[in-house]
Chains A and B, each alone.
Chain A
């Protein structure tokens, strides 16, 4: 179980921050609980603090006040390596400055399990290959990562996160730069990984339908504050979406999938 208690963070005021040219949104008293095994969405418009919240949940940023606990343990009490053994992160996009192979990328997930001078053993390679197989990319193993399509890259990065063997996976806009076909592919992949491996997933997204499609629970984030949270069915309402995005929508249940669909109507006046 992942818990954020009253997490507050102002950029510019955090000495431990990595520094930004433009200060991204801060967080103001964010509390949420992600049960083990959940597919949990953090939904909000651009600039609402989703990425910041994920970085805090991953222990990459320390909150100015409040705390993040994983199964009861405060992340600040753990070393980076210990956190990485429990929490894996899939960034929005991955660009490489150098020409790594797909298998090399997947093997990078083994970092927190190896010593400074350790070389990956057969077991690590096996685990990395399992990750590639689970994401349907094992046939790309020898390819150079930079020659892959956007969807393939995202799946390989997810495979790398799987190789990390952390119980919790945080994904930042996993479909933002992908077209519809790849979006569907990632959506079904995430659901499958959640069902088959029991992986707990926290997915930050601004895409209402992707969230409605994939996530069982949602937290709505606006200006660094959680404005609503709970089961997707109860959270995703016309009024809330209008407040969140300033758009008038129709929320309906799709007759075939049985899931909610959100149809934008017009910009709210």
Chain B
């Protein structure tokens, strides 16, 4: 039964019974209530983390002083450090985290495989190749009126997604874990080789920077790169808003979805395209940070169930808070050394991924 998950493997011993619907109200309003609760909880979490993260650093600052309106901004050192030096990093982390987590959810539904993520599919690596090309050869693209790195990164992820899409549609039942992992390994190796090739011809000083970036780093010191990546992310999230109901059905199967009125081809294209946009935006900002797309959606599903109308927004919000929290860990763990956050997410996500793989069992 290639391409299919057996019942036991997707739900673990941890799958808890769903929250009981309130008596006298149907699950329709129940969905609305769960959506509201989930977005509120995860939203508050993301907001608090983004507010607290900039307080942590070599120079201690106090939150009440940051927002003290009685001190003019140019005299308020705490506010300057908060808003100018550290907030961009937290916002970049939030944007990257939510984009990667949301594209993880979308890839998983499209490929009907809970192990699919931008990172494991090699889409992040494709985006990284695009970004590296734009960073290494800035002159070639400087004539463009728009920021080149996010666009090149998007082009790279779109290229990788095209290959994944080709593989997925050639197998009607969705990608089996074997094919998915092998395709991911192959694409990752392929893009890594191309990245090394580009780096080989780049000058030394550039190489140090790009290597750090390739580890997945949120060393963002200004708002400029955020603003450059923002349009891509905004378009991606706007497209994501159209998807959840169709994703629910696509996760059951393409024929089943078509039979219930989903325009399968259009939905798949929109979803793959918007997930590429989100991945491109995230990678252009933070490098190919791994495992967010798998850790976050899984934890969210354990808490809120499988309905994509809740899972998608909840993952986007939780992903934002989660990555910023990881980044705080990366900055403080070996302070004053600041680790690239990709090292932290890989250390957390690697074992998590293996655990999921074991739990899926050998049935594929």
Contacts and interface: CB of A to CB of B under 8 A. Distances in A.
Interface in A46-101: 55, 58, 60, 79-85, 87-89, 91, 94-101
Interface string A243-261: 0000000000000000000
Interface string A10-32: 00000000111100000000000
A121 interface: yes
Contacts of A99: 10-11, 15, 301, 305-306
Given A95-B6, A97-B108, A147-B7, A84 B15 contact: no
Interface stretch (A109-117, A192-200, A225-233): A109-117
A216 B255 CA distance: 27
Given A97-B10, A100-B306, A144-B11, A125 B254 contact: no
B7 A103 contact: no
A83 B26 CA distance: 27
Interface string B344-359: 0000000000000000
A104 interface: yes
Interface stretch (B46-54, B215-223, B260-268): B260-268
B256 A95 contact: no
Given A97-B108, A99-B11, A104-B306, A80 B26 contact: no
Contacts of B249: 108, 111
Interface residues of A, number: 50
B261 A119 contact: no
A91 B261 contact: no
Given A108-B248, A111-B249, A125 B18 contact: no
A104 B248 CA distance: 10
A112 B114 contact: no
A124 interface: yes
A260 to B, nearest CB: 31
B4 A60 contact: no
B26 to A, nearest CB: 4
A164 interface: yes
Contact of B262 (A21, A109, A111, A124): A111
Contacts of B5: 95-97
Nearest to B242: A116
A146 interface: yes
Interface stretch (B27-35, B186-194, B280-288, B323-331): B27-35
A55 B301 contact: no
A98 B31 contact: no
A122 interface: yes
Given A80-B262, A94-B253, A122-B26, A18 B169 contact: yes
Contact of B28 (A79, A82, A89, A122): A122
A124 B28 contact: yes
A120 B108 contact: no
A125 B253 contact: no
B259 A88 contact: yes
B259 A89 contact: yes
A125 B28 contact: yes
Given A88-B259, A96-B5, A97-B10, A21 B26 contact: no
A89 B255 CA distance: 9
Nearest to B1: A95
Given A18-B172, A119-B28, A111 B260 contact: yes
A157 to B, nearest CB: 8
A125 B305 CA distance: 18
B85 interface: no
Interface in A126-166: 126, 142, 144, 146-147, 164
A149 B17 CA distance: 18
Sort A-B residue pairs by CB-CB distance and give the 4 closest, nearest first: A84-B261, A112-B261, A89-B259, A125-B26
24 contacts: A21-B170, A60-B255, A80-B258, A80-B261, A81-B261, A88-B259, A89-B255, A89-B259, A91-B256, A97-B5, A97-B113, A98-B10, A98-B251, A98-B301, A99-B11, A99-B15, A108-B249, A108-B252, A111-B245, A121-B26, A125-B26, A126-B26, A144-B15, A146-B7
Interface of A: 18-21, 55, 58, 60, 79-85, 87-89, 91, 94-101, 103-105, 107-109, 111-112, 114, 116-122, 124-126, 142, 144, 146-147, 164
Given A104-B305, A122-B25, A122-B29, 8 more contacts: A82-B261, A91-B259, A97-B109, A100-B306, A119-B29, A144-B15, A146-B11, A164-B260
